[in-house]
Structure 1
Amino acid sequence: MNKYLKMVLYGSIVWLVPFIISFAFVDRQGNFTIDETFFKSIMVVTGALVGVVLAVRYFRDVETNYVNGGIVLGVIWLVINLALDLSMVYGGFFQMSVTQYFTDIGMRYLSMPIYTIGMGCALMQKSR
């Protein structure tokens, strides 16, 4: 599979899995069925778990330029996840303003390039 197609596919999965899981904790009116802070923690942990598993899987096929690969992977995932979320905000699915979205959710996606670049750095050091 083309590496960029794989990046986009994996980035979409990183967004989709927590999104699907979130339905277990929100009722039909959009209210949380559990404490909101606990819900956000579940989403962060789920996203991190899926992201790390898919980043490890992605890096299996990378043989050089690990740091560059981590940067590109993280930025692509960041853009995909922000775009999908913002489409939900603008579509009215998330009942919040764009500013509120970035303070409540959007900033958390910065963890994606952090762990993908970190993996790239670790792989680079190991390959020396």
Structure 2
Amino acid sequence: MNKYLKMVLYGLIVWLVPFIISFAFVDSQGNFVIDETFFKSIMVVTGAFIGVILAVRYFRDVETNYLNEGIFLGLIWLLVNLALDLSMVYGGFFQMSVTQYFTDIGMRYLSMPIYTIGMGYALMQNAK
């Protein structure tokens, strides 16, 4: 599979899994059935777990330029996830403004390039 297609598909999966899991914690009116802070923690942990699994899987096929791959992978995932979420905000699925979205949710996606760049850096150091 083309590496760019793989980056985008993995980015979609990183977004989709927590999105699907979130339905277990929201009722039909869109209200949380658990504490909102606990819900957000579950989503962060779920996203990080899936993200690390997919980043490890992605890096199995990388043989050089680990740091550059980590930077690019993290940025692609960040853009894919922000685009999907913002389409939900603009589509009315998330009842919040764009500013509120970035303060409540959007900033959390910065963890994606943090761990993909970290993996790329560690692999680069290991390859020396």
TM tier, smaller: over 0.9
The CA deviation string for residues 84-124 of structure 1, in whole angstroms up to 9 with x for no partner, is: 00000000000000000000000000000000000000000
Q: 1:50 is matched with which residue?
A: 50
For structure 1, the residue ranges without an aligned partner over 5 or more in a row are none
Tell me the TM-score normalised to structure 1 length: 1.00
Residue 16 (1) aligns with residue 16 (2) = yes
2: CA distance between counterparts of 1:11 and 1:109? 11
Q: 1:77 is matched with which residue?
A: 77
Compute the displacement of 1:48 (Å).
Answer: 0.1
Q: What's the Cα RMSD here?
A: 0.2
The aligned length equals: 128
Amino acid at match of 1:76: I
Query: Following superposition of structure 1 onto structure 2, how do residues 91-110 of structure 1 map, counting pairs within 5 Å?
Result: 91-110=91-110
The CA deviation string for residues 18-45 of structure 1, in whole angstroms up to 9 with x for no partner, is: 0000000000100000000000000000
Large movers: runs of 4+ above 4 Å: none
Q: 1:119 is matched with which residue?
A: 119
Query: Following superposition of structure 1 onto structure 2, how do residues 36-47 of structure 1 map, counting pairs within 5 Å?
Result: 36-47=36-47
2: CA distance between counterparts of 1:119 and 1:125? 10
Q: 1:61 is matched with which residue?
A: 61
Amino acid at match of 2:66: Y
Q: 2:5 is matched with which residue?
A: 5
Amino acid at match of 1:85: D
2: CA distance between counterparts of 1:40 and 1:9? 24
Q: Percent identity?
A: 88
Compute the displacement of 1:2 (Å).
Answer: 0.4
Amino acid at match of 2:45: V
1: CA distance between counterparts of 2:17 and 2:43? 9
Amino acid at match of 1:113: P
